Amino acid sequence: MAATRRIVIENCSIATVDVADTEYASGYLVVAGNRIEAVGAGKAPEGLENVVRRIDASDHLVTPGLVNTHHHFYQWITRGLATDHNLFDWLVALYPTWARIDEEMVYAAAQGSLAMMARGGVTTAMDHHYVYPKGTGDLSGAIIRAARETGVRFTLARGSMDRGASDGGLPPDFAVETLQGALAATEATIDEHHDASFDAMTQVAVAPCSPFSVSTELLKQAAELARVKGVRLHTHGSETVQEEKFCRELFGMGPTDYFASTGWLGEDVWMAHCVHMNDSDIAAFARTGTGVAHCPSSNARLAAGIARVPDMLAAGVPVGLGVDGTASNESGELHTELRNALLINRLGAHRETALNARQALRLGTHGGAQVLGRANEIGSLEPGKLADLVLWRLDTLAHAAIADPVTALVFGAAAPVTLSLVGGEPVVENGRLVHVDEDAIARSTRAEARRLARIAARDLSR
C-alpha cells in the first residue's frame, strides 16, 4: 500500500465495533485506497506517504457506516397515506396505488430513499422491490442506477409475488407475476447485476415477498435458485398476528415451520420484522444462522408489536436494522432506528436492560453486515476492511453536553454527518451529498408522487 493514496483522520473518538468493542477516546484512522490501513489511539504514525487529505476530526465520533437491511424504495412516493392502519389494512389500501408504478417513478423514489439514508450515515443500503407491473420498464435497473449514482454500497433484493387476490393473496392480480416469470426475471437480474467480489458495490438477493403474496412453489424454487447462484435469500416473516393466523389456516403451521418446510432457514437467509416469534422460533433461527432485519419504527407505525431482539441476540441470532419502506416509516433514515430499537425494546419484557447504546450501534453496523453476509468486508473499523465510515459531529447544541460520544449518537438527536466514506470515496461532505443534488431529487420525487396519485385516482374511479 506504499504507493496508495491515503486519508488520515485524527483527534476523534472512535467506536470500532470490532469483536471486543474497542473504542478510543482520542485516536486516528488511516484509509489507504478503499481499505482501512490502521486504526488506533493517539496520533497517526509519522512518515506516511501519499497523504492526499488530513482531517482534524476533533469533537467528532467515527463509526463504521450504517448498514440498512430492509427497505422498499418505491414507497418514498406514497408516504403519509393510510396512517392509521394495521399491516393488512394498510396493504389493501395501498396495493392498488403501488400497482401503478413505472420506471420513472421507481427511479425517483429510489433516489429519494437513497439520498435520505446516505446523508444520515448509511453507507450500505438494500432495497426489497417486489412490485413489477407488466410493461412498466426496467425497474430493477432503475433502482441499481440510482444507488450507483448516490455512491453507496447496495444490495437489491429482487422480490416477486405470484399470489394475487383471486388466489387468496393481498395484491391485485395485475400486480403479480407468474411463477416461471418471476423466477426467470430474478435469475436474469442476478446474472446481469450481482458482483460477488470483496469490494462489490452491487449485489443481488432472491426475495419473494411474503407468505400471503407468494405461492409455496415460488418459495421453494426461489430458494433453489438462490443456492445454485450463490446469492442470499430475503423475505418478510412473522410480522403480525394476522400472518400467524394466515399461515396456520392455509398451511397448518406457523410461519417459522412453514419457512423451514420450504428451505427458507439457513445462514444465507435473513427475514424482515420477526415480531411474533416464540422460543422455538428463535431457537430455530439461532440453530440455522437465519438473520433478522429489525424495523422498530415501521413495527410501531403499523402496530405490529415489539420484536424480541434481546432474546434473539442472547440466542445468537444475527440481527441488523432496517428502515423499511417509507410508507410505514416516513422519516426514511436509519439513525432513527438506532434510537428506536433501544427505546422500543425497553418497553418489552427486559425493560431497561433490553438494549444499551453500544448494542444499538452494533445492530446498525456490524449486525447489518452479518445479516447481508458481508461482515468480513464492512461493519467494523479494522485494518483490511473496506473504508466505509462516518464522522459524526458532536459539538453542536444537540450533543455538546453529553460526555459519552456513543450515548450522544444513539440517545440524542440525529447527529450531523461531516464526512461519509464508501470505499474511501466521499459520499457526504458537511451534511451534503457529494454525487447527487438532493434539492433536485426533492422536486422530482414530489412530481412523481403527484403523477402516481393522479393515475391511481383516475384508474380507481373507473
Closest CA to 391 of 105, 74, 112, 55: 55
pLDDT of residue 2: 46
Among the listed residues 96, 106, 137, 144, the one whose alpha carbon sits nearest the alpha carbon of residue 444: 106
Phi, psi of 79 (to 5 degrees): -70, 155
Mean pLDDT of 113-139: 97
pLDDT value, residue 218: 98
Mean pLDDT of 62-91: 97
- The span from the CA of 386 to the CA of 406, in Å, is 22
* Secondary structure element (H or E) that encloses residue 404, with its range: none
Q: Alpha helices, DSSP H only, in 346-437?
A: 357-362, 368-371, 405-411
Q: What confidence tier does 5 reach under pLDDT thresholds 50, 70, 90?
A: very high
178 backbone dihedrals φ, ψ, rounded to 5°? -80, 160
pLDDT tens per residue across span 325-366: 999 999 999 999 999 999 999 999 999 999 999 999 999 999
Q: For all residues of the chain together, what is the average pLDDT?
A: 96
Distance (Å) of CA 19 to CA 182, 392, 409: 40, 22, 20
- The tens digit of pLDDT for each residue in 305-317 reads 999 999 999 999 9
Least confident interval from 95-99, 284-288, 318-322:
95-99
Better-predicted residue by pLDDT, 219 or 2: 219
pLDDT of residue 412: 97
Asked if 366 contacts 155 with a C-beta cutoff of 8 angstroms, the reply is no
Q: Which three cell numbers stand for residue 21?
A: 468493542
Q: What is the amino acid identity at position 321?
A: L
Query: Following DSSP, what letter does each residue of 283-303 receive, concatenated?
Result: HHHHHHT-EEEE-HHHHHHTT
- The pLDDT value given to residue 221: 98
First-to-last CA distance in the chain? 65
pLDDT of residue 165: 87
Residues 435 and 70: their CA atoms lie apart, in Å, by 23
Secondary-structure percent of the chain, ordered helix, strand, coil, rounded to 5: 40, 20, 40
Is the pLDDT reported for residue 273 higher than 80? yes
pLDDT class for 169, splitting at 50, 70, 90?
confident
Which residue has 458537511 as its cell numbers?
430
> Which candidate, 79, 159, 65, places its Cα nearest to that of 113?
79
Question: CB atoms < 10 A from the CB of 400, how many?
Answer: 12
The three three-digit cell numbers of residue 137, written as one number: 420498464
Q: What is the pLDDT of residue 246?
A: 87
Confidence of residue 1 (pLDDT cuts 50, 70, 90): very low
Domains of the chain and CATH, by start: 6-64+380-430 (2.30.40.10), 66-372 (3.20.20.140)
Residue 370 CB partners (closer than 8 Å, separation 6+): 291, 318, 320, 379
Do residues 260 and 233 make contact, with C-beta atoms less than 8 angstroms apart?
Answer: no
How much is the pLDDT for 3?
65
pLDDT band at 95 (very low <50, low <70, confident <90, very high): very high
* Residues 86/301, Cβ–Cβ less than 8 Å: no
**What's the grid cell of residue 351?**
425493560
Alpha-carbon distance 35 to 89, whole Å?
46
**pLDDT computed for residue 460 by the predictor:** 84
Q: What is the pTM of this model?
A: 0.97
The predicted-structure confidence for 225-246, as pLDDT tens digits, reads as follows: 999 999 999 999 999 998 889 8
Residue whose C-alpha is closest to residue 183's, from 206, 157, 153, 167: 206
- Per-residue model confidence as pLDDT tens digits over 398-452: 999 999 999 999 999 999 999 999 999 999 999 999 999 999 999 999 999 999 9
Strands 153-160 and 122-129: parallel
